[in-house]
Amino acid sequence: VEPISLGLALAGGVLTGYISYPRLYCLFAECCSPKRSLSREALQKDLDSKLFGQHLAKKVILNALSGFISNPKPKKPLTLSLHGWTGTGKNFVSKIIAENIYEGGLNSDYVHLFVATLHFPHISNITLYKARDQLQSWIRGNVSACARSIFIFDEMDKMHAGLIDAIKPYLDYYDNLDGVSYQKAIFIFLSNAGAERITDVALDFWRSGKQREEIKLKDMEHALSVSAFNNKNSGFWHSSLIDRNLIDYFVPFLPLEYKHLKMCIRVEMQSRGYEVDEDIVSRVAEEMTFFPKEERVFSDKGCKTVFTKLDYYYDD
């Protein structure tokens, strides 16, 4: 089923149920409550125990989310832009955020994932108008059903400029648009834009013998401001969202090192019900490729493919 029509159908169903029998309904199904809260401690615990090597992302996400959710009257929706190398945890952290707000996490009726290259792979001038319209009514329908809706836009750097333009009004400081208020919604944008610059900073720290944890947000400011968006793919994104200050937080994801891969492998072993075997952990981690070529500091694919490599050792 096409996600946009599915979203709208669900939105309608939820709305009816919610209005007709609010209390009873919420006993049996997940509910969208305007007072939807978030436990800062639980989120912190989750981030600390599950997300490896991302001290900057942890800090920004924790503060941004807990501040936003505890604000009864936000002036605009929360917009987080997550940047970094492949396999460093951007999708993973979006899942953690969703789970901390809605029990169903990514499967919740109030959490919506949009992947431009999947949902609208080929857009011509003729189909753009229709796609824009669909995207806008999808957002409107879902926020009408639940003010605290979460939208995750993956592969933002590959998204058609016309579609980015279409979501802009919803990210802005409007009390309402056509009777719907978007101020409690959460938009999370994921991309690899800026990954090279983030990596350069991390590599500089490594080369000068400093701890990765010493990297401060301000060290990343430049990486995430000008150069990150100075490539032709994300140029429009830059001018339309960033110049207009529609993004509240830029969240850098650092490239992962050998020791982080080992942490990912251990977690996967445990989740498959195996005892952690340090010999296998090291062998799987060593099979990964690292860059730069001479120093071999960062994993090419982050933690992304370690799991399939693990299959080889448990294929009985």
Ligand X SMILES: Nc1ncnc2c1ncn2[C@@H]1O[C@H](COP(=O)(O)OP(=O)(O)OP(=O)(O)O)[C@@H](O)[C@H]1O
- What does the chain look like in DSSP terms, one character per residue? --HHHHHHHHHHHHHHHHHHSHHHHHHHS----TT----HHHHHHHHHHH--S-HHHHHHHHHHHHHHHH-SS-SS-EEEEEEESTTSSHHHHHHHHHHHH-TTGGGSTTEEEEEHHHHS----HHHHHHHHHHHHHHHHHHHHH-TT-EEEEESGGGS-HHHHHHHHHHHSS-S-BTTB--TT-EEEEEE-TTHHHHHHHHHHHHHTT--GGG--HHHHTTTTTTGGG-STTTHHHIIIIITTT---EEEEEPPPBHHHHHHHHHHHHHHTTPPP-HHHHHHHHHHS-EESTTT--EETTTTTTHHHHHHHHT--
If the CB atoms of residues 20 and 271 are measured against ligand X, the closer one turns out to be 271
Closest of 93, 69, 64 to residue 80, by C-alpha = 64
Which residue, 241 or 256, is less far from ligand X as judged by CB?
256
Nearer to ligand X, 50 or 59 (CB): 50
Pick from 14, 43, 47, 53: which binds ligand X (CB under 6 A)? 53
Q: 11 vs 82, which CB is nearer to ligand X? A: 82
Q: Which of the stretches 68-76, 230-238, 243-251, 301-309 binds ligand X when contact is defined by CB under 6 A? A: 301-309
- Report the DSSP beta bridge partners of residue 113: 152
Q: Nearest approach, Cβ of 202 to ligand X (angstroms)?
A: 13
Residues 15-34 that bind ligand X (CB under 6 A): none
Distance in angstroms (rounded) separating the CA atoms of residues 293 and 47? 31
Binder among 192, 199, 234, 299 for ligand X (CB under 6 A): 192
Pick the closer one to ligand X by CB: 142 or 192.
192
Interface positions, 242-271, toward ligand X (CB under 6 A): 264
Among 52, 120, 250, 298, binds ligand X (CB under 6 A): 52
- Minimal distance, residue 301 CB to ligand X, in Å: 8
CB 250 → ligand X: shortest distance, Å? Answer: 15
For ligand X, the nearest residue by Cβ is 89
194 binds ligand X (CB under 6 A): no
CB of 260 to ligand X, least distance (A): 6
What is the nearest approach in angstroms of ligand X to the Cβ of residue 124?
26
Stretch that binds ligand X, among 45-53, 104-112, 116-124, 201-209 (CB under 6 A): 45-53
Token pair listed for 166: 């279409």
Residue range at the interface with ligand X (CB under 6 A); choices 61-69, 118-126, 242-250, 302-310: 302-310
**x-or-dash string of contact with ligand X, 84-113, rule CB under 6 A:** --xxxxxxx---------------------
Pairing of strands 186-191, 78-84: parallel
Closest separation in Å from C-beta 156 to ligand X: 10
Q: How many residues of this chain interact with ligand X, rule: CB under 6 A?
A: 17
Distance of CA 252 to the CA centre of its chain: 11
Q: Residue 171 Cβ, how far from ligand X at the closest point, in Å? A: 21
Q: Which residue has the tokens 């010493």?
A: 214
* Residues in contact with ligand X by the rule CB under 6 A: 50-54, 86-92, 192, 264, 302-304
